[in-house]
């Protein structure tokens, strides 16, 4: 499948044939079942993950092949138009997903594990992978190709950023048992290692360093390597003073995330309620 997807992506035909659409349907079925992923664990890399660029090519190929069609339930009262290759994902009660009524949207071509809870309204984009037992809360976004592990909580209004291009770029990775607090944002290929906790309003990206008060170090993205948040780190939104120029004179501070502790029994007790919600 990989070779055929890459060949079709790199050499666009004058028109797509029935055989091409069968190939894409097979590819999308593999995405839906979690058999292929835009990124997967890899013990030989610094981040513990590797990008599968060919999978991202396949997802982009779907947008290229599709045409805009009417996807409205009621075109007069609530019209929807999108690419024919990416309708909403189909679920049944046997899917093992708790999809609470109220306006959520989950695009076809993503994987949701058993016991995932989707609180309305939320959105999961094509290419995403969400592990067993994870909760995606109200107004939360899981972007294209983002990888979210098992038993995570993506809290209300948080955004797990997506990435399709460039095809070699690392998507956002959130490993197992991570708590992402309300109104957080994780962007630009950031890797959040297992059991980390992001306090309300924490923003993580390539541009903003993370100050570790416990280990007395600064975590940064470097070159092609993304920002990596250590296992069990507890991060809050902080500030650091501007030390030169008008910013210093005016007493201005700029935002920075701060690791204030590493997860312990007290942290676990504070987030115990989540198990009751699943």
CATH numbers and ranges of domains, the chain: 2-68+86-268 (2.160.10.10)
pLDDT in tens, the chain (278 residues): 999 999 999 999 999 999 999 999 999 999 999 999 999 999 999 999 999 999 999 999 999 999 999 999 999 999 999 999 999 999 999 999 999 999 999 999 999 999 999 999 999 999 999 999 999 999 999 999 999 999 999 999 999 999 988 888 999 999 999 999 999 999 999 999 999 999 999 999 999 999 999 999 999 999 889 999 999 999 999 999 999 999 999 999 999 999 999 998 777 766 665 565 66
CB atoms within 10 A of CB 113: 18
| Predicted structure pTM score | 0.94
Query: Would you say 203 and 185 are in contact if contact means Cβ atoms under 8 Å apart?
Result: yes
Sheet holding 203-204, edge to edge: 105-106, 123-124, 141-142, 159-160, 185-186, 203-204
């Amino acid at each position: 499948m990989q070779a055929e997807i890459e060949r079709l992506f790199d050499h666009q035909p004058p028109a797509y044939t029935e055989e091409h659409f069968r190939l894409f349907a097979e590819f999308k079925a593999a995405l839906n079942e979690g058999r292929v992923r835009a990124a997967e664990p890899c013990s030989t890399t610094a981040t513990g993950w590797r990008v599968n660029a060919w999978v991202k090519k396949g997802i982009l190929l779907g947008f290229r092949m599709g045409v805009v069609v009417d996807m409205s339930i009621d075109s007069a009262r609530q019209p929807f138009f999108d690419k024919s290759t990416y309708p909403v994902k189909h679920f049944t009660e046997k899917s093992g997903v708790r999809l609470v009524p109220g306006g959520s949207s989950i695009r076809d071509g993503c994987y949701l594990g058993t016991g995932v809870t989707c609180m309305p309204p939320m959105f999961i984009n094509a290419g995403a992978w969400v592990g067993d037992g994870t909760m995606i809360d109200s107004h939360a976004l899981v972007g294209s190709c983002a990888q979210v592990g098992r038993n995570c909580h993506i809290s209300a209004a948080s955004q797990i950023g997506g990435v399709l291009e460039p095809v070699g770029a690392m998507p956002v990775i959130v490993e197992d048992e991570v708590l992402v607090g309300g109104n957080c944002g994780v962007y630009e290929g950031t890797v959040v290692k297992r059991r980390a906790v992001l306090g309300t309003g924490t923003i993580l990206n390539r541009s903003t360093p993370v100050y570790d008060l416990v280990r007395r170090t600064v975590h940064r993205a470097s070159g092609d390597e993304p920002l990596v948040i250590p296992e069990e780190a507890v991060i809050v939104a902080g500030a650091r003073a501007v030390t030169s120029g008008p910013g210093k004179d005016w007493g201005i501070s700029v935002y920075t995330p701060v690791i204030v502790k590493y997860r312990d029994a007290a942290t676990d007790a504070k987030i115990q309620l989540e198990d009751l919600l699943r």
